[in-house]
Structure 1
């Protein structure tokens, strides 16, 4: 979880960061494919095919129009998207991709621990560097503050280029120093053809499977046998990988990293599947968060359901209004939130809003037995996103974040199955029950709310 307070003065509220979410006339949507921009007719054929797979309504077209209205990265087709649930499945897929690398590996992470998992990745990256594969790593300075310098020295000694994002030490800063801006993205790109993104850091806290009863991380993993962490990632192949590569290279350049060697960062894109995907990166340097804008837009246009799973829930007024408005117009708005956390301030700051949301008809469930770290959303069964973005002020204002939006019912069904599985392992919070909570919890909520802007 991100560091929060550094003695800086807080703003009283978020600015209105979405200038206009009202639908407006626009040219026909054109998709990016393996051979470049599709013609209007080709794009429409793809979209018609996706719409036919869904229910006999205009929900897909509706979401497509709203998604396209938010200016940002291109909507790409011809992608393969694999939903990865939990650390073990994600690490296995990432490790296999690293071992198969032939040209380059670009990795960006918030946390990289010096533990069993971290060392396994380090040794794999070192081995590939020694084989002639160029490895570049961006690691956040705050997120890796507890990782010994010797861990990164073994990487740099092997020739790996390691870039510390926004160093805590201002004397090491390569640009205007702003300690509160952090790189919360989790991204791995191999050979410009395969990418991974989501909420999973590189740490042994993810060693256990979170759906198995009584699951714990392995002994000696550094997690002190705490509960497993429940998280979600995506493995992507196809034209969208080039958009993710652009984001990585842009961050490297913005942070004034050493010049990167000439490698095949953008191989000719190939059709890998049938999914329509948009990669969305956000940073505090932008007028507003594109991830936040697209999420608000999707919630505002929801017709049947809004299903959110999120690790750190401290909503701002705009998000609260959007959730309440959706529930009051009859949309099934269901949130799965943590029952335990690694940040009690965030935990209690978010709980401060339960009463208001429950009154509006929003359904709230808390996930049992795990540390919930997922950041996913599914709206109307056709608009899905997985990424690093929490539903809190820090993600929307202070962090570099990264999400993928996947449009269509096929992937939506996978996310819905995952959501239902988490829901079955969660406890419902009712308004009557919540209003009977003890005084000490209310005091913690009040105290945490004071800090919510910086959490």
Structure 2
């Protein structure tokens, strides 16, 4: 299968590392917005970063900018009235993707989340990546702060991102195919916006990775927080290593979710046996979802390489063909590889504690997880407009077609 995306010529793409790099540029763009701010994020917390964003969105709306925000109902489960009221009073439209009830404080809507992180300003500038709006993306947050990446992009591909986000609002938007030629040319990079949903684009992001892996001739660097791809992906990765490609994986060594590292480690022995080199990032939790192939292919986005991202969640990545951008990302990953990671070896694996569950059993359970999750009682995801507790929320409306989960009822 091929990717259902469109390569756009003439873009300028800038790598942004960690919250320090991303928030500075995103907030600057929000402050300069003239007509429209469209934002989607998995997590928005009421912490120093969330309040900094909040202040800028309120100010933008008060000066006449149309502001629309979509958060995930699981990742961002609730907001105080003091947070929501100023947004509503300024005219910001704040919505939640599929919020659920929490009996006994337990969140049950675990799967098929809106995991994208997108920001589009005036239809001219877009940001795509894996960074949420929370203080744990700032290095000053201490040992639990996350290592992560995003991109700022100018050029024709922004029209595709803009049209996509407008469609998620259920609002008429520019068709990227008709308008990309009229967007200001940003640079020399070719770029393609790729999404994963539960309707028409179920495996587009995975296929973008696999096409690049099959065509690799020199190197593959994949740095991903949650790594447990399917058999076909692993087969092509191992085949690349066997034909002499320098295949490197940077995975979590200090995970925010220990089960994730346990799952990835069930794959290590076979991958190393075929020549794949693996390093675990041990400075702090790794949250990135990025890759470089050869000298001119790279991707940055929200999609992990695990069953949730590849089979259930709503995700978005930017794929870039540009030597300069690929070199910038490769340089950043090389620094992690050399100075912040520990190599994984077959001898070292022998010294690690035995698993409480036999590794073959764990592997096959995890491999079949998306299929089993799809059998859970389903429902039609909804978007709910949020308001302060004293206000009556607008009734939920059905999602745009690209968001509808066909595993759910109907």
TM-score normalized with structure 1 length: 0.74
- The separation in 1 between residues aligned to 2:3 and 2:122, in whole angstroms, is 28
Runs of 4+ in structure 1 off by over 6 angstroms are none
- The separation in 1 between residues aligned to 2:359 and 2:285, in whole angstroms, is 19
After superposition, the C-alpha distances for 1:16-40 in whole angstroms (9 at most, x for unaligned) are xxx4xxxxxxxxxxxxxxxxxxxxx
- State whether residues 227 and 369 of structure 1, in contact with CA within 8 Å, keep that contact through their aligned partners in structure 2: no
Residue 147 of structure 2: which of 209, 230, 233 is its match? 230
Match of 1:10 in 2: none
- The separation in 1 between residues aligned to 2:150 and 2:312, in whole angstroms, is 22
> For the structure 1 residues 148 and 343, does the alpha-carbon distance in structure 2 shift closer, same or farther, using more than 3 Å as the test?
farther
Question: How far off its partner does 1:166 sit?
Answer: 2.1
Structure 2 residue 78 is the aligned partner of structure 1 residue 161: no
Match of 1:327 in 2: 241
- The separation in 1 between residues aligned to 2:269 and 2:87, in whole angstroms, is 49
For residues 62-101 of structure 1, the aligned pairs below 5 Å read: 70-101=2-33
Question: Secondary structure at the residue paired with 2:194?
Answer: strand
Gaps of at least 5 residues in structure 2 are 103-108, 374-410
Structure 2 residue 350 is the aligned partner of structure 1 residue 435: yes
- State whether residues 19 and 131 of structure 2, in contact with CA within 8 Å, keep that contact through their aligned partners in structure 1: yes
Match of 1:130 in 2: 62
- The separation in 1 between residues aligned to 2:75 and 2:81, in whole angstroms, is 13
- The separation in 2 between residues aligned to 1:300 and 1:261, in whole angstroms, is 35
- The separation in 1 between residues aligned to 2:243 and 2:266, in whole angstroms, is 23
Structure 2 residue 182 is the aligned partner of structure 1 residue 250: no
After superposition, the C-alpha distances for 1:207-266 in whole angstroms (9 at most, x for unaligned) are 21xxxxxxx41xxxxxxx44321001000011111010111112222xxxxx5899xxx7
Instruction: Kindly report the root-mean-square deviation, in angstroms, between the aligned alpha carbons of the 2 structures.
Output: 2.4
- The separation in 1 between residues aligned to 2:33 and 2:257, in whole angstroms, is 36
After superposition, the C-alpha distances for 1:15-71 in whole angstroms (9 at most, x for unaligned) are xxxx4xxxxxxxxxxxxxxxxxxxxxxxxxxxxxxxxxxxxxxxxxxxxxxxxxx34
For residues 336-347 of structure 1, the aligned pairs below 5 Å read: 336-347=250-261
- The separation in 2 between residues aligned to 1:342 and 1:403, in whole angstroms, is 22
Question: Secondary structure at the residue paired with 2:351?
Answer: coil
- The separation in 2 between residues aligned to 1:271 and 1:149, in whole angstroms, is 42
Match of 1:384 in 2: 298
For residues 203-222 of structure 1, the aligned pairs below 5 Å read: 203-208=134-139, 216-217=140-141
- State whether residues 216 and 240 of structure 2, in contact with CA within 8 Å, keep that contact through their aligned partners in structure 1: yes
Gaps of at least 5 residues in structure 1 are 1-18, 20-69, 171-177, 209-215, 218-224, 254-258
Structure 2 residue 224 is the aligned partner of structure 1 residue 310: yes
Residue 358 of structure 1: which of 259, 266, 272 is its match? 272
Question: Secondary structure at the residue paired with 1:350?
Answer: helix
Q: How many residues align?
A: 358
TM-score normalized with structure 2 length: 0.82
- The separation in 1 between residues aligned to 2:84 and 2:270, in whole angstroms, is 46
- The separation in 2 between residues aligned to 1:435 and 1:99, in whole angstroms, is 54
